[in-house]
Structure 1
Amino acid sequence: MKKYLAIMILAVAGMVAFKADNTGYKVGDVAADFKLKNVDGKMVSLANYKQAKGYIVVFTCNHCPYAQAYESRIMDLDKMYASKGYPVIAISPNDPVSEPADSFDNMKKLAAQKGYTFPYTIDETQNVTRTYGAKATPHVYVLQKTAKGNVVQYIGAIDNDTEGTNPNKVKYVESAVNALLDGKAITTSSTKAIGCSIKWNKELR
Protein backbone atom coordinates (compact mmCIF):
# COMPACT_ATOMS: atom_id res chain seq x y z
CA MET A 1 0.00 0.00 0.00
CA LYS A 2 2.81 2.40 0.90
CA LYS A 3 4.59 1.60 -2.36
CA TYR A 4 1.36 2.27 -4.28
CA LEU A 5 0.87 5.61 -2.53
CA ALA A 6 4.47 6.59 -3.23
CA ILE A 7 4.00 5.85 -6.94
CA MET A 8 0.79 7.89 -6.99
CA ILE A 9 2.49 10.83 -5.26
CA LEU A 10 5.34 10.75 -7.76
CA ALA A 11 2.91 10.54 -10.64
CA VAL A 12 0.91 13.52 -9.40
CA ALA A 13 4.12 15.47 -8.74
CA GLY A 14 5.21 14.73 -12.27
CA MET A 15 1.91 15.95 -13.68
CA VAL A 16 2.11 19.16 -11.66
CA ALA A 17 5.68 19.74 -12.77
CA PHE A 18 4.67 19.16 -16.39
CA LYS A 19 1.87 21.70 -16.16
CA ALA A 20 4.11 24.25 -14.45
CA ASP A 21 6.71 23.92 -17.20
CA ASN A 22 4.06 24.00 -19.91
CA THR A 23 2.71 27.49 -19.44
CA GLY A 24 3.87 28.60 -22.89
CA TYR A 25 6.01 31.42 -24.17
CA LYS A 26 6.39 34.77 -22.51
CA VAL A 27 7.52 38.04 -24.07
CA GLY A 28 11.28 37.84 -24.57
CA ASP A 29 11.38 34.07 -25.08
CA VAL A 30 12.86 32.58 -28.24
CA ALA A 31 10.18 30.62 -30.07
CA ALA A 32 11.09 27.30 -31.65
CA ASP A 33 10.27 26.71 -35.30
CA PHE A 34 7.55 24.26 -36.27
CA LYS A 35 6.45 22.30 -39.32
CA LEU A 36 2.70 22.13 -39.89
CA LYS A 37 0.48 21.09 -42.81
CA ASN A 38 -1.09 23.93 -44.74
CA VAL A 39 -4.47 23.75 -46.48
CA ASP A 40 -2.63 23.29 -49.79
CA GLY A 41 -1.09 20.09 -48.46
CA LYS A 42 2.41 21.53 -48.16
CA MET A 43 4.35 21.76 -44.92
CA VAL A 44 4.96 25.25 -43.54
CA SER A 45 7.67 26.38 -41.16
CA LEU A 46 9.00 29.78 -40.16
CA ALA A 47 12.28 28.91 -41.83
CA ASN A 48 10.48 28.90 -45.19
CA TYR A 49 10.33 32.69 -44.99
CA LYS A 50 13.93 33.60 -45.72
CA GLN A 51 13.30 37.32 -46.16
CA ALA A 52 10.96 37.74 -43.20
CA LYS A 53 11.77 40.18 -40.42
CA GLY A 54 9.34 38.40 -38.15
CA TYR A 55 5.96 36.73 -38.05
CA ILE A 56 2.39 37.26 -36.90
CA VAL A 57 1.45 33.80 -35.63
CA VAL A 58 -2.31 33.55 -35.07
CA PHE A 59 -4.06 30.63 -33.42
CA THR A 60 -7.55 30.68 -34.94
CA CYS A 61 -10.19 28.32 -36.26
CA ASN A 62 -13.35 27.88 -38.31
CA HIS A 63 -16.11 27.48 -35.76
CA CYS A 64 -15.43 30.06 -33.06
CA PRO A 65 -17.61 33.22 -33.24
CA TYR A 66 -14.67 35.29 -31.97
CA ALA A 67 -12.39 33.89 -34.67
CA GLN A 68 -15.09 34.61 -37.24
CA ALA A 69 -15.43 38.17 -35.96
CA TYR A 70 -11.70 38.72 -36.35
CA GLU A 71 -11.28 36.87 -39.64
CA SER A 72 -11.27 39.97 -41.87
CA ARG A 73 -8.88 41.71 -39.48
CA ILE A 74 -6.49 38.75 -39.65
CA MET A 75 -6.66 38.94 -43.44
CA ASP A 76 -5.98 42.67 -43.28
CA LEU A 77 -2.92 42.12 -41.09
CA ASP A 78 -1.38 39.88 -43.73
CA LYS A 79 -2.18 42.37 -46.49
CA MET A 80 -0.64 45.20 -44.47
CA TYR A 81 2.48 43.50 -43.18
CA ALA A 82 3.48 40.50 -45.30
CA SER A 83 5.14 42.79 -47.85
CA LYS A 84 6.91 44.61 -45.00
CA GLY A 85 8.41 41.39 -43.65
CA TYR A 86 5.80 40.27 -41.11
CA PRO A 87 3.55 37.65 -42.72
CA VAL A 88 0.61 36.02 -40.97
CA ILE A 89 0.93 32.32 -40.19
CA ALA A 90 -2.45 30.96 -39.04
CA ILE A 91 -2.68 27.79 -36.98
CA SER A 92 -5.86 25.87 -36.23
CA PRO A 93 -5.23 24.37 -32.78
CA ASN A 94 -8.44 22.43 -32.21
CA ASP A 95 -9.00 18.69 -32.19
CA PRO A 96 -11.39 18.00 -35.11
CA VAL A 97 -12.96 15.09 -33.26
CA SER A 98 -13.99 17.43 -30.44
CA GLU A 99 -14.99 20.14 -32.94
CA PRO A 100 -15.81 18.69 -36.42
CA ALA A 101 -16.24 22.16 -37.92
CA ASP A 102 -12.48 22.56 -37.54
CA SER A 103 -11.58 19.52 -39.62
CA PHE A 104 -8.84 19.85 -42.22
CA ASP A 105 -11.37 19.54 -45.06
CA ASN A 106 -13.45 22.35 -43.60
CA MET A 107 -10.31 24.45 -43.16
CA LYS A 108 -9.53 24.00 -46.86
CA LYS A 109 -13.05 25.04 -47.81
CA LEU A 110 -12.95 28.17 -45.66
CA ALA A 111 -9.53 29.25 -46.88
CA ALA A 112 -10.64 28.87 -50.50
CA GLN A 113 -13.96 30.59 -49.91
CA LYS A 114 -12.38 33.58 -48.18
CA GLY A 115 -9.28 33.76 -50.37
CA TYR A 116 -6.72 33.58 -47.59
CA THR A 117 -3.38 35.08 -48.64
CA PHE A 118 -1.58 33.39 -45.75
CA PRO A 119 -0.98 29.78 -44.68
CA TYR A 120 -3.78 28.20 -42.67
CA THR A 121 -2.15 25.25 -40.98
CA ILE A 122 -3.40 22.51 -38.69
CA ASP A 123 -1.69 21.51 -35.46
CA GLU A 124 -2.64 17.84 -35.60
CA THR A 125 -0.70 16.81 -32.49
CA GLN A 126 -1.52 20.07 -30.67
CA ASN A 127 2.14 20.17 -29.61
CA VAL A 128 2.75 23.60 -31.12
CA THR A 129 -0.32 24.98 -29.36
CA ARG A 130 0.92 23.63 -26.03
CA THR A 131 4.43 24.94 -26.61
CA TYR A 132 3.19 28.43 -27.40
CA GLY A 133 0.67 28.35 -24.59
CA ALA A 134 -2.26 29.48 -26.72
CA LYS A 135 -5.45 29.62 -24.67
CA ALA A 136 -8.08 30.95 -27.04
CA THR A 137 -9.02 31.56 -30.65
CA PRO A 138 -7.83 33.99 -31.77
CA HIS A 139 -4.55 34.27 -29.86
CA VAL A 140 -1.65 36.17 -31.44
CA TYR A 141 2.13 35.92 -31.04
CA VAL A 142 4.27 38.52 -32.80
CA LEU A 143 7.78 37.19 -33.34
CA GLN A 144 10.85 39.17 -34.38
CA LYS A 145 13.63 37.42 -36.26
CA THR A 146 16.95 38.16 -34.53
CA ALA A 147 20.45 36.74 -34.40
CA LYS A 148 19.48 34.58 -31.43
CA GLY A 149 16.22 33.33 -32.97
CA ASN A 150 12.57 34.29 -33.26
CA VAL A 151 11.96 36.41 -30.18
CA VAL A 152 8.41 36.78 -28.87
CA GLN A 153 7.63 40.49 -28.76
CA TYR A 154 3.87 40.54 -28.29
CA ILE A 155 1.27 38.08 -27.01
CA GLY A 156 -2.49 38.49 -26.80
CA ALA A 157 -5.45 39.99 -28.61
CA ILE A 158 -5.54 41.64 -32.02
CA ASP A 159 -7.30 44.69 -30.57
CA ASN A 160 -9.74 45.62 -27.80
CA ASP A 161 -12.83 45.62 -30.00
CA THR A 162 -14.22 42.10 -30.34
CA GLU A 163 -17.42 43.26 -32.02
CA GLY A 164 -15.60 45.48 -34.48
CA THR A 165 -17.76 48.51 -33.77
CA ASN A 166 -15.41 50.85 -31.89
CA PRO A 167 -13.72 53.40 -34.18
CA ASN A 168 -11.34 54.27 -31.34
CA LYS A 169 -10.15 50.70 -30.76
CA VAL A 170 -6.60 50.04 -29.62
CA LYS A 171 -4.91 47.97 -32.34
CA TYR A 172 -2.42 46.01 -30.29
CA VAL A 173 -0.91 43.89 -33.06
CA GLU A 174 -0.62 46.76 -35.52
CA SER A 175 1.03 48.93 -32.88
CA ALA A 176 3.48 46.19 -31.98
CA VAL A 177 4.50 45.44 -35.57
CA ASN A 178 4.75 49.14 -36.43
CA ALA A 179 7.03 49.68 -33.43
CA LEU A 180 9.28 46.79 -34.50
CA LEU A 181 9.45 48.12 -38.06
CA ASP A 182 10.36 51.57 -36.74
CA GLY A 183 12.92 50.22 -34.28
CA LYS A 184 10.95 51.50 -31.31
CA ALA A 185 9.85 49.93 -28.04
CA ILE A 186 6.45 48.25 -28.00
CA THR A 187 4.08 50.15 -25.71
CA THR A 188 1.81 47.20 -24.90
CA SER A 189 3.54 43.84 -25.21
CA SER A 190 0.95 41.60 -23.57
CA THR A 191 -2.84 41.53 -23.39
CA LYS A 192 -5.49 38.95 -22.61
CA ALA A 193 -6.67 36.99 -25.63
CA ILE A 194 -10.47 36.91 -25.72
CA GLY A 195 -12.05 34.02 -27.60
CA CYS A 196 -13.18 30.42 -27.55
CA SER A 197 -11.19 27.93 -25.51
CA ILE A 198 -8.90 25.45 -27.26
CA LYS A 199 -10.65 22.14 -27.97
CA TRP A 200 -8.14 19.55 -26.77
CA ASN A 201 -7.96 15.95 -27.81
CA LYS A 202 -9.40 14.14 -24.81
CA GLU A 203 -6.84 11.36 -25.07
CA LEU A 204 -3.92 13.82 -25.05
CA ARG A 205 -5.02 16.13 -22.23
Structure 2
Amino acid sequence: MALVQTPGVELGRKAPDFKLLGVDGLHYSLANCSKKNGLLVMFICNHCPYVKAILPRLIQDVQALEAQSIGCVAISSNDPTDYPEDSYENMQKIAKTMGFSFPYLFDESQAVAKAYGAVCTPDFFGYNTNLELQYRGRLDESGIKPAPADAKRELVEAMLMIAKTGKGPQNQLASQGCSIKWRF
Protein backbone atom coordinates (compact mmCIF):
# COMPACT_ATOMS: atom_id res chain seq x y z
CA MET A 1 0.00 0.00 0.00
CA ALA A 2 1.68 3.17 -1.21
CA LEU A 3 0.44 6.46 0.23
CA VAL A 4 -0.49 8.96 -2.48
CA GLN A 5 -1.62 12.59 -2.13
CA THR A 6 -3.80 14.44 -4.59
CA PRO A 7 -2.19 17.15 -6.71
CA GLY A 8 -3.15 20.82 -6.44
CA VAL A 9 -6.51 22.20 -7.44
CA GLU A 10 -7.23 23.18 -11.04
CA LEU A 11 -9.94 25.68 -10.09
CA GLY A 12 -12.56 26.24 -12.74
CA ARG A 13 -11.84 23.04 -14.69
CA LYS A 14 -15.09 21.62 -16.06
CA ALA A 15 -16.28 18.24 -14.83
CA PRO A 16 -15.73 15.56 -17.47
CA ASP A 17 -18.90 13.76 -18.54
CA PHE A 18 -19.36 10.05 -17.91
CA LYS A 19 -21.83 7.23 -18.33
CA LEU A 20 -21.19 4.40 -15.91
CA LEU A 21 -23.00 1.39 -14.51
CA GLY A 22 -24.21 1.74 -10.93
CA VAL A 23 -24.43 -1.03 -8.37
CA ASP A 24 -28.22 -0.84 -8.80
CA GLY A 25 -27.92 -1.92 -12.45
CA LEU A 26 -28.75 1.56 -13.82
CA HIS A 27 -26.46 3.81 -15.85
CA TYR A 28 -25.58 7.27 -14.51
CA SER A 29 -24.19 10.36 -16.22
CA LEU A 30 -22.81 13.66 -15.03
CA ALA A 31 -26.16 15.32 -15.78
CA ASN A 32 -28.28 12.99 -13.70
CA CYS A 33 -25.88 13.05 -10.73
CA SER A 34 -25.67 16.86 -10.51
CA LYS A 35 -28.11 18.79 -8.34
CA LYS A 36 -29.05 22.46 -8.19
CA ASN A 37 -26.31 23.39 -5.68
CA GLY A 38 -23.40 21.46 -7.18
CA LEU A 39 -21.84 18.03 -7.34
CA LEU A 40 -19.35 16.00 -5.33
CA VAL A 41 -17.54 13.28 -7.29
CA MET A 42 -15.74 10.80 -5.04
CA PHE A 43 -13.28 8.15 -6.18
CA ILE A 44 -13.37 5.36 -3.61
CA CYS A 45 -13.03 1.58 -3.50
CA ASN A 46 -13.81 -1.28 -1.14
CA HIS A 47 -10.38 -2.55 -0.09
CA CYS A 48 -8.47 0.66 0.74
CA PRO A 49 -7.84 1.13 4.47
CA TYR A 50 -8.06 4.92 4.04
CA VAL A 51 -11.56 4.59 2.57
CA LYS A 52 -12.57 2.07 5.24
CA ALA A 53 -11.42 4.51 7.94
CA ILE A 54 -13.68 7.32 6.65
CA LEU A 55 -16.65 5.41 5.26
CA PRO A 56 -19.08 5.86 8.18
CA ARG A 57 -18.33 9.61 8.36
CA LEU A 58 -18.41 9.93 4.58
CA ILE A 59 -21.89 8.38 4.43
CA GLN A 60 -23.09 10.79 7.14
CA ASP A 61 -21.51 13.80 5.41
CA VAL A 62 -22.97 12.86 2.02
CA GLN A 63 -26.43 12.74 3.59
CA ALA A 64 -25.88 16.27 4.94
CA LEU A 65 -24.83 17.47 1.47
CA GLU A 66 -27.72 15.76 -0.28
CA ALA A 67 -30.09 17.53 2.13
CA GLN A 68 -28.68 20.81 0.73
CA SER A 69 -29.36 19.81 -2.91
CA ILE A 70 -25.73 18.91 -3.61
CA GLY A 71 -25.41 15.83 -5.81
CA CYS A 72 -23.01 13.13 -4.69
CA VAL A 73 -21.64 10.17 -6.63
CA ALA A 74 -18.92 7.61 -5.85
CA ILE A 75 -16.85 5.89 -8.52
CA SER A 76 -14.59 2.87 -8.19
CA SER A 77 -11.92 2.70 -10.88
CA ASN A 78 -9.67 0.01 -9.42
CA ASP A 79 -8.79 -3.01 -11.52
CA PRO A 80 -10.40 -5.90 -9.62
CA THR A 81 -8.10 -8.48 -11.23
CA ASP A 82 -5.52 -8.12 -8.45
CA TYR A 83 -7.99 -6.64 -5.95
CA PRO A 84 -11.10 -8.87 -6.05
CA GLU A 85 -12.59 -6.99 -3.08
CA ASP A 86 -13.12 -4.12 -5.57
CA SER A 87 -15.20 -6.19 -8.03
CA TYR A 88 -18.61 -4.98 -9.18
CA GLU A 89 -20.31 -7.71 -7.12
CA ASN A 90 -18.44 -6.63 -3.99
CA MET A 91 -19.29 -2.99 -4.74
CA GLN A 92 -22.96 -4.03 -4.71
CA LYS A 93 -22.50 -5.76 -1.34
CA ILE A 94 -20.75 -2.82 0.36
CA ALA A 95 -23.28 -0.30 -0.95
CA LYS A 96 -26.12 -2.40 0.42
CA THR A 97 -24.43 -3.25 3.73
CA MET A 98 -23.42 0.37 4.39
CA GLY A 99 -26.68 1.85 3.09
CA PHE A 100 -25.23 4.16 0.43
CA SER A 101 -27.72 6.95 -0.40
CA PHE A 102 -25.66 7.94 -3.44
CA PRO A 103 -24.89 6.15 -6.72
CA TYR A 104 -21.82 3.92 -6.58
CA LEU A 105 -20.47 3.47 -10.11
CA PHE A 106 -17.98 1.08 -11.69
CA ASP A 107 -15.39 2.65 -14.01
CA GLU A 108 -14.32 -0.65 -15.54
CA SER A 109 -12.31 0.96 -18.37
CA GLN A 110 -10.71 3.46 -15.95
CA ALA A 111 -11.32 6.20 -18.54
CA VAL A 112 -13.33 8.33 -16.11
CA ALA A 113 -10.61 8.30 -13.44
CA LYS A 114 -8.09 9.33 -16.08
CA ALA A 115 -10.37 12.11 -17.38
CA TYR A 116 -10.75 13.51 -13.86
CA GLY A 117 -7.09 13.05 -12.98
CA ALA A 118 -7.96 10.90 -9.97
CA VAL A 119 -4.89 9.40 -8.34
CA CYS A 120 -5.95 7.82 -5.07
CA THR A 121 -8.79 6.51 -2.95
CA PRO A 122 -10.35 8.55 -1.56
CA ASP A 123 -10.11 11.42 -4.05
CA PHE A 124 -12.74 14.20 -3.87
CA PHE A 125 -13.78 16.64 -6.61
CA GLY A 126 -16.24 19.39 -5.58
CA TYR A 127 -18.06 21.30 -8.33
CA ASN A 128 -20.29 24.37 -8.31
CA THR A 129 -23.60 24.67 -10.16
CA ASN A 130 -21.71 25.38 -13.42
CA LEU A 131 -19.77 22.11 -12.88
CA GLU A 132 -16.51 24.02 -12.40
CA LEU A 133 -14.01 22.46 -10.00
CA GLN A 134 -13.82 24.35 -6.71
CA TYR A 135 -12.54 21.73 -4.23
CA ARG A 136 -9.92 18.99 -4.43
CA GLY A 137 -9.23 18.36 -0.79
CA ARG A 138 -9.72 15.82 1.91
CA LEU A 139 -12.77 14.72 3.90
CA ASP A 140 -11.17 15.68 7.20
CA GLU A 141 -7.98 14.93 9.13
CA SER A 142 -8.53 11.16 8.91
CA GLY A 143 -5.73 9.01 7.62
CA ILE A 144 -5.48 5.27 7.96
CA LYS A 145 -7.46 5.73 11.18
CA PRO A 146 -10.65 7.75 11.55
CA ALA A 147 -10.37 11.33 12.79
CA PRO A 148 -11.81 12.19 16.21
CA ALA A 149 -15.58 12.78 16.29
CA ASP A 150 -15.04 16.52 16.75
CA ALA A 151 -12.72 16.89 13.72
CA LYS A 152 -13.46 19.77 11.38
CA ARG A 153 -15.74 18.61 8.54
CA GLU A 154 -13.56 20.10 5.78
CA LEU A 155 -15.37 18.54 2.82
CA VAL A 156 -18.84 19.44 4.09
CA GLU A 157 -17.81 23.01 4.88
CA ALA A 158 -16.18 23.40 1.45
CA MET A 159 -19.20 22.03 -0.41
CA LEU A 160 -21.62 24.23 1.56
CA MET A 161 -19.44 27.25 0.73
CA ILE A 162 -19.48 26.26 -2.95
CA ALA A 163 -23.27 25.87 -2.86
CA LYS A 164 -23.66 29.33 -1.32
CA THR A 165 -21.00 31.33 -3.18
CA GLY A 166 -19.98 29.26 -6.21
CA LYS A 167 -16.38 29.26 -4.94
CA GLY A 168 -14.41 26.88 -2.74
CA PRO A 169 -12.05 27.67 0.11
CA GLN A 170 -8.66 29.17 -0.74
CA ASN A 171 -6.79 26.77 1.54
CA GLN A 172 -7.37 23.12 0.75
CA LEU A 173 -5.49 20.20 2.24
CA ALA A 174 -4.83 17.31 -0.13
CA SER A 175 -6.62 14.03 0.26
CA GLN A 176 -4.42 11.01 0.80
CA GLY A 177 -4.91 7.31 0.33
CA CYS A 178 -3.98 4.27 -1.71
CA SER A 179 -3.10 4.72 -5.35
CA ILE A 180 -5.71 3.77 -7.91
CA LYS A 181 -4.95 0.25 -9.10
CA TRP A 182 -4.40 0.79 -12.82
CA ARG A 183 -4.56 -1.87 -15.50
CA PHE A 184 -1.26 -2.21 -17.32
Q: TM-score, normalised by structure 2?
A: 0.87
SS in 2 for 1:31: coil
Runs of at least 4 residues off by over 6 Å = none
Alignment of 1:176-187 (within 5 A): 176-183=158-165, 185-187=167-169
Report 1 or 2 for greater relative contact order, CA contacts < 8 Å, sequence distance ≥ 6.
2
Which residue does the alignment assign to 2:138? 157
Q: Aligned residue pairs: how many? A: 177
Larger Rg: 1
User: 2: distance between equivalents of 1:25 and 1:34?
Assistant: 21
Structure 1: any 5+ residue segments left out of the alignment? 1-22
Matching residue within 145, 159, 169 for 2:151: 169
Alignment of 1:65-76 (within 5 A): 65-76=49-60
User: 2: distance between equivalents of 1:159 and 1:121?
Assistant: 23
- CA-based RMSD: 2.1
Q: TM-score, normalised by structure 1?
A: 0.79
SS in 2 for 1:156: coil
Alignment of 1:15-94 (within 5 A): 26-49=10-33, 51-94=35-78
Alignment of 1:100-179 (within 5 A): 100-146=84-130, 150-162=131-143, 163-167=145-149, 169-179=151-161
More helix by share: 1
Structure 2: any 5+ residue segments left out of the alignment? 1-6
SS in 1 for 2:39: strand
User: 2: distance between equivalents of 1:158 and 1:68?
Assistant: 13
Residues 173-193 of structure 1 show CA distances to partners (whole Å, capped at 9, x for unaligned) of 112112123327533454322
